[in-house]
Structure 1
Amino acid sequence: MSFLLLQSPTLWDFKYLITGVLRVFRTAIAVAFTAIVLATVALAFASIRSTDSVVGPRIFGKNVLVVRSGSMNGTFPVGSAVVINPISPSGMKSLRVGTIVSFKSAANPDILITHRIMETIARGGGRVVFRTKGDSNTLADQTFLDPSQVVGTYSYAIPHGGHVLVAIQSGRLLAALVIAFIFASISLMFTNRAFASSDQWEIL
């Protein structure tokens, strides 16, 4: 008759297990920190467009806009990051009532506005203009939108993502990440030293 002998884990086994976990954790922190720093640098050096309602970088050919006003609160709140698909001249024909577009302000071309098309108005010679309005606004925009002013169409929004972009571009997020990484590294260093000291006492 044979018996299966089970041995309870010792304190030494637990130390090796925890040490291994700490090493994996430290490696994961280093990899994550490196990735975040690279992404932060990429965003920081992305070209910036200053606008009235939004401000954001141009990344991978798309405009990433940070919502600054509440005119579109029904669709995306203030502080959201909104991704805008650039539109070509041929794509202007696809614009219709209900489409959310980002366009240059008639008063200041450096200002981008993101509103919804509410009406298509035919003009002479087959030309059309649009009436736009913010979802949360009571009244429509005062001036008609010419298709030549449109720079892109709304794709999707990331709630609160705009706050992150602003923090990255201002350098506050990177500073916070560096401080967090330093504290995490110091904590892991002291933990490893504590385990090393206890191992030496066990051997003695």
Structure 2
Amino acid sequence: MSGRRKAEATASPLSIIGTGISYIALCLAALAALTLVVIPMVTGSQTYSVLTSSMAPKYAPGTFLVVKPVPFEELKVGDIITYQIESGSPTVITHRITSVSAEQSGEIVFITKGDNNDVVDELPVREVQVKGKLFYAVPYVGFIANGLGNSDRGAMAQWGAVALMGYGVISLVRGALAKKRDDDAAAEGSTGDTPDPDGDDFVFPGVDGAAAETDVDHSDPVLADCDDCDHHEPRGYREDHGRQVGSRMHATV
């Protein structure tokens, strides 16, 4: 018996495109969760949204800002800081430090200015006002944060992280199941056997599932004269009008 392997089924272009889109979406979801939620939570950073054009065009309205707390003495000219307009006030401004000066009392203060503004900010910035230094920014995401509002932003960020991670898990499971189905289909296609097309062999299944071949002789028996034997007369022997017709024949193989 000759075995033949069936051709493995190839994936359709639509299936390949769908798989690629799923993996891209998974990567984007993981990147969004990491950038917008995980890193700010791990580093103790605070998130803000740009509302004005004072730092345009690089930090245009709608930009999502992640501000990380740093020691006041480590800040220097050129750093972008987020500070309270008044100490204890929830309203903040994100501008660049243009110079460092000292008050008559010896207190160190910063002079700040928006990149898109023509003049420096009216009042110097003291240590108690500073919330942190700009860690990184994500364009356009701030519009979503603005729509959520300041009071709901923290809770929505946590739920957003859970949703993104859940989507990632579901995508991984679906991808694994689809791959398993493809592997099973390929395995079934590779184990099929085709009977012998010549039809010369008689195949009997063996104990272990293999096939055993048996040769059978289909040749006719040879007839030989048997005048002296005492076998029973063959069926072709008869008497007709007292005369013998035919002869006693003994079939030997």
Q: CA distance change for structure 1 residues 18 and 111 in 2, over 3 Å: closer, same or farther?
A: same
1:151 to 131, 141, 159: 131
Give 1:132 deviation, angstroms.
1.2
What is the SS of the residue equivalent to 1:124?
Answer: coil
Q: Residues 106, 167 of structure 1: CA spacing in aligned structure 2 closer, same or farther, 3 A cutoff?
A: closer
The reply to whether residue 122 of structure 1 matches residue 102 of structure 2 is yes
Q: Does the CA-based 8 Å contact 2:63-2:142 persist in structure 1?
A: yes
**Aligned-partner Cα distance in 2 for 1:30–1:100:** 36
Q: Write the deviation string for residues 10-39 of structure 1: whole angstroms up to 9, x where unpaired.
A: 9x96xx433697399469849957x949x7
Counterpart secondary structure, 1:59: helix
For residue 135 of structure 1, report the CA deviation from its aligned partner: 0.8
**Residue identity in the other structure for 1:144:** P
Q: Of 133, 142, 147, which aligns to 2:113?
A: 133
For residues 151-187 of structure 1, what are the alpha-carbon distances to aligned partners after superposition, in whole Å with 9 as ceiling and x for unaligned? 101122222232355578689x98xxx9xxxxxxxxx
Higher helix share: 1
Alignment size in residue pairs: 152
Distance 1:22 1:112, change over 3 A: same
Q: Residues 131 and 64 (structure 1 numbering): CA distance in 2 closer, same or farther, change over 3 Å?
A: same
In the TM superposition, residue 128 of structure 1 has moved relative to its aligned partner by 1.7
Change (3 A) 1:27 1:137: closer
In the alignment, what sits opposite 2:46? 63
Structure 1 residue matching 2:109: 3-state secondary structure: strand
In structure 2, distance between residues paired with 1:107 and 1:78: 24
Letter paired with 2:15: L
How many angstroms does 1:103 deviate by? 0.6
The offset of 1:78, in angstroms, is 1.8
The 3 A distance-change label for structure 1 pair 20 and 98 is: closer
Q: Which residue of the partner structure matches residue 110 of structure 1?
A: 90
When normalised by structure 1's length, the TM-score is 0.54
**What letter corresponds to residue 68 of structure 2 in structure 1?**
N
Match of 1:81 among 64, 67, 75: 64
Partner secondary structure for residue 18 of structure 1: coil
- Cα distance in 1 for residues equivalent to 2:99 and 2:69: 21
Alignment of 1:1-204 (within 5 A): 16-18=9-11, 22=15, 25=18, 29=22, 36=29, 59-60=41-42, 61-87=44-70, 91-106=71-86, 109-163=89-143, 165-166=145-146
**What is the CA–CA distance in structure 2 between the aligned matches of 1:23 and 1:122, rounded to whole Å?**
64
Question: What is the RMSD computed on CA atoms of the aligned residues?
Answer: 4.7
The residue type equivalent to 1:70 in the other structure is S
Pick closer, same or farther for the CA change 1:18–1:70 going to 2, 3 Å.
same
Question: Which amino acid counterpart does residue 49 of structure 2 have in structure 1?
Answer: V
In 2 relative to 1, CA 103–161 (structure 1 residues): closer, same or farther, beyond 3 Å? same
Unmatched tracts of structure 2, length 5 or more: 1-5, 168-253
2:45 touches 2:69 (CA, 8 Å); kept in 1? yes
Work out the CA distance in 1 between the residues paired with 2:82 and 2:128.
11
Q: Within 2, Cα distance between the matches of 1:147 and 1:81?
A: 24
- In structure 2, the CA distance between the partners of 1:129 and 1:165, relative to structure 1 (3 Å rule), is same
* In 2: Cα distance, 1:166 partner to 1:109 partner: 19
